[in-house]
């Protein structure tokens, strides 16, 4: 069970490191919840941009997407969290070339800063020295996840859908997500890890900042607000965003109109001319924002 929790945490947290290092987009659309219509659809469909870690000490979970669950019969996430192959994930998360382990490539000052961050993570403590063999982006995702108990809107929606006995599915597979990650070389990932370490931002501060940006619902500037101009590998945006957006939009299309359905994916996938909203519009569908506000905790 502990290994399963570890693996589930990695899947949930991948997008935190992605959103922290992506380039900016021009402002066009705003909003996280959208209704999909058109092309003779006989049943409603909805699209919601999630966040994979969310600070519930500052904000309440948004009621609007949970209310949509009463209107649909099936919910699709990026992954079907109930059918994650643990062995497949374990095989994909580690570096195979021992000369490229993190403690072999990271410079001494950065490694010194990394060690206490790793020591604060129960998951990494469980792995011991084997943690240095984890792919750098995944390692930082685990660190950012803290104790692994940080709420995720994805998982909360997933649990609510299961409780309502809605059917659940995934738009991608673990292999596809890991293949996208593997397009970024290990040295490039190590450099990204180093950049993150040198920011000297604690996981708690990072979570607060991530949540504050997310609640603005500015999907076009979400990446700009989080990136602070960081430079990344050339393959990063192409394979972890653009190509995945195309795949998800193509897989959404044949599911529209058959039954009431909700599609949930990281908010970074919605905006820009290469985002899922624009791609669905190009296919002839109409997307209308359903406005709502996030409520702060008293």
Tell me: pLDDT of 4 over 70: no
Give the pLDDT confidence of 245-289 residue by residue, as tens digits: 999 999 999 999 999 999 999 998 999 889 999 999 999 999 999
Rounded Cα gap, residues 147 and 149, in angstroms: 5
CA nearest 49: which of 19, 6, 25? 19
Which helix (H) or strand (E) segment holds residue 63: the answer is: helix 63-68
Number of residues that make up the chain: 298
Rounded Cα gap, residues 198 and 263, in angstroms: 36
Phi and psi for 35 in degrees, rounded to 5?
-100, 135
Rounded to two decimals, the pTM is 0.85
Tell me: pLDDT of 290 over 70: yes
Give the pLDDT confidence of 216-247 residue by residue, as tens digits: 999 988 766 665 544 445 566 777 888 999 99
By the 8 A CB rule, do 36 and 45 touch?
yes
In the block, residue with structure tokens 């500037």: 221
Collect contacts of 41-44 with beta carbons under 8 A, ≥24 apart: 41/256, 41/257, 41/285, 42/257, 43/257, 43/258, 43/259, 43/260, 43/261, 44/71, 44/72, 44/260
Give the pLDDT confidence of 109-155 residue by residue, as tens digits: 999 999 999 998 888 988 899 999 999 988 988 887 776 677 889 99
């Amino acid at each position: 069970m502990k290994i399963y929790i570890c693996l589930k945490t990695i899947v949930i947290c991948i997008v935190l490191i992605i959103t922290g290092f992506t380039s900016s987009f021009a402002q066009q659309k705003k909003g996280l919840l959208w209704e999909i219509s058109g092309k003779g659809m006989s049943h409603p469909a909805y699209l919601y941009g999630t966040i994979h870690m969310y600070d519930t000490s500052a904000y309440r979970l948004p009621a609007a997407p949970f209310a949509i669950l009463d209107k649909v019969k099936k919910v699709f996430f990026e992954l079907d969290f109930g059918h994650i192959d643990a062995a497949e994930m374990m095989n994909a998360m580690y570096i195979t070339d021992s000369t490229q382990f993190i403690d072999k490539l990271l410079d001494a000052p950065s490694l010194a800063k990394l060690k206490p961050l790793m020591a604060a993570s129960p998951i990494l403590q469980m792995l011991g020295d084997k943690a240095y063999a984890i792919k750098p982006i995944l390692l930082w995702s685990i660190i950012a996840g803290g104790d692994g108990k940080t709420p995720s809107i994805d998982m909360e929606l997933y649990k609510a859908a299961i409780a309502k006995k809605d059917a659940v599915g995934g738009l991608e597979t673990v292999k596809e997500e890991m293949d996208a990650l593997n397009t970024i070389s290990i040295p490039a990932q190590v450099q990204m890890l180093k950049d993150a370490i040198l920011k000297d931002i604690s996981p708690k501060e990072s979570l607060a900042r991530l949540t504050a940006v997310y609640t603005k619902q500015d999907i076009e500037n979400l990446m700009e607000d989080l990136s602070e101009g960081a430079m990344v590998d050339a393959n990063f945006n192409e394979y972890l965003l653009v190509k995945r957006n195309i795949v998800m939009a193509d897989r959404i299309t044949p599911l529209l109109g058959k039954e009431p359905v909700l599609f949930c994916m990281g908010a970074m996938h919605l905006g820009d001319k290469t985002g899922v909203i624009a791609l669905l519009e190009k296919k002839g569908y109409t997307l209308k924002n359903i406005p709502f506000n996030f409520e702060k905790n008293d």
